[in-house]
Chains A and B, each alone.
Chain A
């Protein structure tokens, strides 16, 4: 069985990074969280503008995402900034304490000044950073890995080179007892029957068809038609002819392993194997949900070249064509374009991805990490109140 060296957490989970983060509970504290994080080099800010003026559907999803992010195995310690009597801060702290993870909440009260808050936060973070450096990597099984599968800035080659190679990787990791999580419900419209018929049972197939149907419905509610908007003119110029063709290319990331489970945004898979998470096609929100659901690494295929990463998980970029790899090399880790011009096949690139995932899990930095791409956005559902 394939092994890697990760950080074993007291709740049994395994991290591939050891980040110290600052996270805000409500939008109003975003600036302060950013400021505190900037005081201690190496500390990562996880900033968002939600948590306030939201209907329950958004509030619950925001809370789940924040807890999943702060409690993530790649996080060594978390400083939570909240308002007075902050329910979100309390919920995060309870969850992290259950996991025995170092957590400090600073909730504003009457006696605090801004310099005081900054000092308190800075001291705790410096201390947490020192402690995190003492934690060491230990040998772990690949069965402990959850890898998210994502695509963004797709082109006509995505479905031919990078996505099927990711599919090969997905089959490999699941065969070894690990977990892969395919995402982006929007991008499955038109090919949903393939995944549904490849589900382990009818209930899972039905659940998958339901989330896709809901998406289709919501898009119609906005007055748009997914079929008339896709493929985009850019897609068509690149050679994509129909929505079905585009979606078939997207779901190639899932490989041929039967679909075991369908989970909600930012939820953790309850079983190992091949899983689908209900996320939007919006890359950053989707990666954010995958990470909050426990993925320690995310694979991201890109045809046009997208630099985005995540504050807490390494995102491995796979270029779909030789040109994007050449001109956007600073943002891309693997060149699946070798299938086009270097006689490589999907198995070759799938194996290269597998090796890369192990290297990155052992600590190798990705392009997005080197460029400090730490984008974070929680999937928004309803209007702000």
Chain B
């Protein structure tokens, strides 16, 4: 039987699990105005962050590609870009970078001669889009339209052991349904990069995964090159092995860089950090329309663009937390996988997750270098 969910079909063939308007700040300097516009319009989501100016090289590229990726996310029906005017990350540059597949406008506070004018114009434009949204209805769509993020944060061996049978089975079902699945590659999984390399045919990804397995390697402030690298311990390798079990025996398409979108169906890894909000935002810009977050005991932040189902293992004698959507217990994995899939379909069709109910959505852009 082919599963379906109810979503919003976009003109480029992608599907939204939510139908919102992105009010996107190009730089921190326009964040207050951006927030104000979003507060005054139904369905509007503020995309505010602390980047956008005094950035150079790759660090700036990450900011720009993240914001254009977020605008492209199928959960946004339309986008309004708000800048200050004198920032590095110009609204005009973003407008050029974002494919014109849905309504989009952008302007700056300096261009509009002040915040009050900017808010007034922004609210007028976004309110019109909001009226259109009110007319749109969800339609029955195949699961192949789902791009599911699987994010691990702060996981331990016990959590991974409990979750692997259910999560890997869910991934297998989704792949069978032709969905796209994107899993986070954080420093907890990197130590077994050598084993993950065997799962892909992509030669670049194989090489990179091998390299990542040697040790933690990030760009650091100190200029000494050796300072950026530290080898992984046996213990870290052991936990990584447990984490790799989440993928089951499925083949990997390739390894995606920050903000890189999967070009095809199948299973992908996405380079991620241990900073939950930055990582969630990275999944949004990669085009995921729903996600699962696996943690020890639940998390307290979600994305403000895509619904995230919070998974945690159920322990004996533990109080259930009201912000965990799905507890994995000792029951038969098949049964639990079915229930989890059902939950995924419901949430993708509009059911709010616990963290959505509490309105705990956030957005943040990772830094890969310093500001100047």
Q: Which residues of A contact B (CB under 8 A)?
A: 27-32, 35, 48-50, 52-53, 55, 57-58, 108, 110-111, 113-115, 152-153, 186, 215, 217-219, 221-224, 234, 280-285, 304-308, 327-331, 371-377, 379-385
Minimum CB distance partner of A155 in chain B: B86
Q: Are B32 and A373 closer than 8 Å at their CB atoms?
A: yes
Contacts of B372 in A (CB 8 A): 186, 215, 218-219, 280-282
Q: Are B275 and A284 closer than 8 Å at their CB atoms?
A: no
Measured CA separation A307–B118 after assembly (Å): 12
Given A57-B221, A328-B114, A382-B221, CB of A305 within 8 Å of CB of B274: no
Measured CA separation A53–B278 after assembly (Å): 10
Q: How many A-B residue pairs have CB under 8 A?
A: 193
Selected contact of B84 from candidates A28, A153, A224, CB within 8 Å: A153
Given A35-B359, A383-B368, CB of A55 within 8 Å of CB of B277: no
Asked if B367 lies at the interface with its beta carbon under 8 angstroms from chain A, I say: yes
Q: Are A52 and B222 closer than 8 Å at their CB atoms?
A: no
Given A27-B275, A52-B274, A282-B53, CB of A328 within 8 Å of CB of B110: yes
Given A29-B301, A327-B114, CB of A219 within 8 Å of CB of B216: no
Minimum CB distance partner of B218 in chain A: A383
A-B residue pairs in contact (CB < 8 Å), sample of 29:
A27-B278, A27-B362, A27-B364, A28-B299, A29-B301, A49-B50, A52-B275, A53-B274, A53-B278, A58-B221, A108-B300, A114-B300, A115-B322, A217-B223, A218-B372, A222-B59, A234-B86, A281-B54, A282-B372, A284-B29, A306-B84, A308-B28, A327-B114, A330-B116, A377-B28, A382-B219, A382-B220, A383-B369, A384-B368
Known: A113-B321, A383-B367. 18 other contacts (CB 8 A): A30-B277, A48-B50, A49-B277, A52-B275, A57-B220, A57-B222, A115-B322, A186-B372, A215-B372, A218-B372, A219-B372, A285-B50, A306-B29, A307-B115, A327-B113, A377-B28, A383-B220, A385-B274
Q: Are A223 and B57 closer than 8 Å at their CB atoms?
A: yes
Contacts of B55 in A (CB 8 A): 282
Q: Are B115 and A28 closer than 8 Å at their CB atoms?
A: no
Q: Are B220 and A307 closer than 8 Å at their CB atoms?
A: no
- Closest CB-CB distance, B49 to chain A, in whole Å? 8
Asked if B276 lies at the interface with its beta carbon under 8 angstroms from chain A, I say: yes
- Closest CB-CB distance, A363 to chain B, in whole Å? 22
Interface centre among B113, B319, B370 (most CB of A within 10 A): B370
Asked if B22 lies at the interface with its beta carbon under 8 angstroms from chain A, I say: no
- Closest CB-CB distance, B284 to chain A, in whole Å? 14
Q: Are A29 and B300 closer than 8 Å at their CB atoms?
A: yes
Q: Are A371 and B32 closer than 8 Å at their CB atoms?
A: yes
Main DSSP-derived SS at the B contact region: loop
B: contact size bracket: 35 or more
Contacts of B276 in A (CB 8 A): 27-28, 52
- Closest CB-CB distance, A27 to chain B, in whole Å? 5
Minimum CB distance partner of B219 in chain A: A383
List which B148-186 residues lie within 8 A (CB) of chain A. Answer: none
Measured CA separation A35–B358 after assembly (Å): 9
List which B328-372 residues lie within 8 A (CB) of chain A. Answer: 358-362, 364, 366-372
Q: Are B319 and A31 closer than 8 Å at their CB atoms?
A: no
Measured CA separation A218–B372 after assembly (Å): 9
Per CB-CB distance, the 6 closest pairs between chain A and chain B, nearest first, are A53-B274, A222-B57, A282-B54, A377-B50, A384-B273, A31-B360
Selected contact of A53 from candidates B275, B302, B369, CB within 8 Å: B275
Contacts of B299 in A (CB 8 A): 28
- Closest CB-CB distance, B271 to chain A, in whole Å? 11
Q: Are A114 and B84 closer than 8 Å at their CB atoms?
A: no
Contacts of B302 in A (CB 8 A): 31
Measured CA separation A268–B230 after assembly (Å): 33
Q: Are B360 and A35 closer than 8 Å at their CB atoms?
A: yes
- Closest CB-CB distance, B180 to chain A, in whole Å? 25
Q: Are B85 and A224 closer than 8 Å at their CB atoms?
A: no
Asked if B206 lies at the interface with its beta carbon under 8 angstroms from chain A, I say: no
Interface centre among B115, B219, B369, B372 (most CB of A within 10 A): B372
Measured CA separation A283–B88 after assembly (Å): 13
Contacts of B187 in A (CB 8 A): 385
Minimum CB distance partner of B362 in chain A: A31
Measured CA separation A384–B223 after assembly (Å): 17
Q: Are B367 and A114 closer than 8 Å at their CB atoms?
A: no
Q: Are B318 and A55 closer than 8 Å at their CB atoms?
A: no
Measured CA separation A31–B358 after assembly (Å): 10
Measured CA separation A216–B31 after assembly (Å): 29
Given A222-B56, A305-B110, A383-B218, CB of A371 within 8 Å of CB of B358: no
Minimum CB distance partner of A53 in chain B: B274
Measured CA separation A120–B28 after assembly (Å): 31
Minimum CB distance partner of A30 in chain B: B362
Q: Are B86 and A224 closer than 8 Å at their CB atoms?
A: no
Measured CA separation A304–B56 after assembly (Å): 21
Minimum CB distance partner of A332 in chain B: B114
Measured CA separation A283–B86 after assembly (Å): 12
Asked if B41 lies at the interface with its beta carbon under 8 angstroms from chain A, I say: no
Measured CA separation A113–B298 after assembly (Å): 12
Asked if B33 lies at the interface with its beta carbon under 8 angstroms from chain A, I say: yes
Minimum CB distance partner of B315 in chain A: A110
Measured CA separation A195–B362 after assembly (Å): 42
Contacts of B216 in A (CB 8 A): 385
Contacts of B116 in A (CB 8 A): 330
Asked if B123 lies at the interface with its beta carbon under 8 angstroms from chain A, I say: no
Interface string of B181-198 (1 = CB under 8 A from A): 000000100000000000
Interface string of B92-108 (1 = CB under 8 A from A): 00000000000000000
